[in-house]
Amino acid sequence: MPEPGRGTPTSPASASALALLVALVRDGVVDLVVAPGSRSQALALAAAELERTGAVRLHVRIDERGAAFLALGLAIESGRPVAVITTSGTAVANLHPAVLEAHHSGVPLIVISADRPAELRGIRSNQTTMQPGIFAGAVRLERDVAAPEGAAGEADAAARLARDAVDAALGRDADGRLVSHPGPGPVHLNLQLREPLSAVIAGGSAPAGAMFAEPISSEGPGALIGPGPRTVVVAGAGAGIDAEQFARDGGWPLLAEVSSGARFGPNLVVAYRELLREPGFGDEIERVVVFGHPTLSREVPALVQREGVETIVVAPWGIEWFDPGRRAGRFERAVRAEPQPQADEERAWTGRWVRASRMLVEAGLPSAPLQRDGVDETGHVSDYEAQREYMKAQLAAMRAPVTRRMLVDAIWSTTWPHDRLVFGASRLIRDADRAVPGRRITVHANRGLAGIDGTVATAVGIAIASQSALPGEAAVETDAAPAAHAGVTRALIGDLTLLHDVGSMLIGEGEPRPRVQLIVGNDGGGTIFDSLEVAASAPADAFDRVQFTPQQVDLAALAAAYGWAYTRATTRGELDEALGTRVDGPSILEVPLPR
């Protein structure tokens, strides 16, 4: 590790902080997120030194909640543990929402909080509270580390602490094997630090690049699920491509939520909500295999609680199982279905679901544009009246106000495999889940607790991780073959989701400004609450005040204040133009929507 510069005072806090961060980098940590503070200065300056040597990607945010959700987004996209560093006191409490989301979503997040030494606890010392245990049962590992004294062996202890933290965050045991219980998730390292809190760090032997660990996968082929009962496969948030492969191998209908990562393939059933309520479909299901965490419908929880339905829940890791009503009969860490010729009855069962879904989705599409009957096979106009009618219809379609269905369809079709699409917890993710077709693209959403907090920061983290080269790696891009880092991250969110996390739009000097586009469906408040049953009976003024919470924020001025580009689209033509325009940095696309 680098030695303090000649003539500068030594600091056990600085030496220990640098030793810990160097060890984390050697164990595969690539990204460090820092929120500034006094007690954490040794950690922050050590992180800056590691950035200088090219060992890490450093990100600085002034708000701890935004910093934690930025780290969450980085970890979601990269699959690697990300460390977020804060000072003491309320700074640590501000991390709690992101820690809970990481806990329920299985995201590897390492919280490193600076703290006063133990002797200052319980005597009302400034900015001091009981930080150990602050995250209760949401962390995979918690260590309250005594203040370093500069004694021999502290660097080795820091290395062991880093290794334990990375293993716990990734859900690994001491031998590097994936442990299904509790699985990946957040870790809390609470570091007691005494003054002097830092010293000058001179250049030295900080690593020039991390030793990246190979991804860990679960062992074993999984339990065999054979043919027989009329089966559907449900894919909730985080299910991934395994759910689609399982449904394809078994020849079963796939009911995949838009944030599942499995919304593609020949067995996809988009209109699953409607069909689960339809006689001859939902009432004939005998077995359901659930992957991930379904959160976007009431029909799926009702299905798994139905009498006579065998429910198999699949989760490769975790403390909790998806089990509404506590009616699931079987739990597996992995399953498989052997591809084999289907019986006629099974083939007809799956085909009926797929065909009915397509018919329902197509019935909800806007009318197709008029055919150009006035143009012959050479492209010349043969019927000018027909062409005028065609042009009028096209102009009318382009001038039509944007609807929610139009918005989600346009964004879904605009997203390419090298892009990233993030959904906020608003009406729009449900609108997309009802309608958009199968497409193998990368979709993210914070569905662990399905809160709106931190969505902007999460999207920015996903954008940075997907567009940035690893330390020591050069991004290579040509016109013919865009690099993996060449995509755009689009986040489809509601107006309240934006305003709840507006502070995360602040990107400081020296920070990367990724190609991220916040597409804000602005309906003036929380219209998702209009679907509550009480909306029909509560006094309108009271309901609007405490549920709808109307707002009239000038989003153009807001974007200008934070240095983001801004565009507004009120018609289909303006929406198509905005989505077709090159995104070169952070931008907001506001789309007014009716309540």
**Domain holding 100: CATH number?**
3.40.50.970
- Using left for φ > 0, alpha for ψ between -120 and 50, and beta otherwise, residue 515 falls in beta
For the four alpha carbons of 346, 348, 351 and 353, in that order, the dihedral sign comes to: negative
| pTM of this structure | 0.88
> Same domain for 390 and 437?
no
> Same domain for 319 and 391?
no
> Same domain for 357 and 383?
no
Phi, psi for 587 (deg, rounded to 5): -150, 160
Identify whether 136 is part of a domain. yes
Please list the pLDDT of the chain residue by residue as tens digits (595 residues).
444 444 344 789 999 999 999 999 999 999 999 999 989 999 999 999 999 999 999 999 999 999 999 999 999 999 999 999 999 999 999 999 999 999 999 999 999 999 988 887 777 777 778 899 999 889 999 999 999 999 999 999 999 999 999 999 999 988 778 878 889 999 999 999 988 887 766 554 455 444 444 444 445 678 999 998 999 999 999 999 999 999 999 999 999 999 999 999 999 999 999 999 998 899 999 999 999 999 999 999 999 999 999 999 999 988 889 999 899 989 999 999 988 787 788 889 999 999 999 999 887 754 444 344 554 444 454 555 665 565 556 556 667 899 999 999 999 999 999 999 999 998 899 999 999 999 999 999 999 988 999 999 999 999 999 999 888 776 544 443 344 467 999 999 999 999 999 999 999 999 999 999 999 999 999 888 888 888 888 999 998 989 989 999 999 999 999 999 999 999 999 999 999 999 999 999 999 999 8
Identify whether 151 is part of a domain. yes
Domain boundary among 172, 192, 212: 192
What is the domain count for the chain? Answer: 4
CATH of the domain at 270: 3.40.50.1220
> Same domain for 384 and 349?
no
Strands (E), 357-437: 420-423
Amino acid, res. 385 = E
The pLDDT, as a whole number, for residue 236 is 96
Residue keyed to tokens 């090159």:
582
> Same domain for 275 and 228?
yes
DSSP letter at 54?
T
The pLDDT, as a whole number, for residue 382 is 57
The pLDDT, as a whole number, for residue 370 is 39
Identify whether 39 is part of a domain. yes
Pick from 209, 219, 131, 135: which is nearest to 171 by CA?
A: 219
Pick from 371, 501, 572: which is nearest to 68 by CA?
A: 501
Identify whether 504 is part of a domain. yes
The pLDDT, as a whole number, for residue 387 is 55
Whether 228 and 183 have beta carbons less than 8 Å apart is answered as: no
CA–CA separation, 251 and 235 (whole Å): 15
Pick from 506, 549, 522, 524: which is nearest to 424 by CA?
A: 522
> Same domain for 22 and 159?
yes
> Same domain for 299 and 411?
no
Domain boundary among 340, 363, 386: 363
Range of the domain at 49: 12-192
Identify whether 217 is part of a domain. no
The pLDDT, as a whole number, for residue 23 is 97
| Structure token digits, residue 68 | 């934690």
Distance from first CA to last CA of the chain, Å, rounded? Answer: 59
> Same domain for 380 and 420?
no
Identify whether 208 is part of a domain. no
Domain boundary among 348, 363, 378: 363
| Structure token digits, residue 65 | 């909640």
> Same domain for 455 and 587?
yes
Identify whether 34 is part of a domain. yes
> Same domain for 582 and 447?
yes
Identify whether 334 is part of a domain. yes
The pLDDT, as a whole number, for residue 205 is 46
| Structure token digits, residue 258 | 């838009």
> Same domain for 310 and 389?
no
> Same domain for 135 and 284?
no
Phi, psi for 232 (deg, rounded to 5): -125, 150
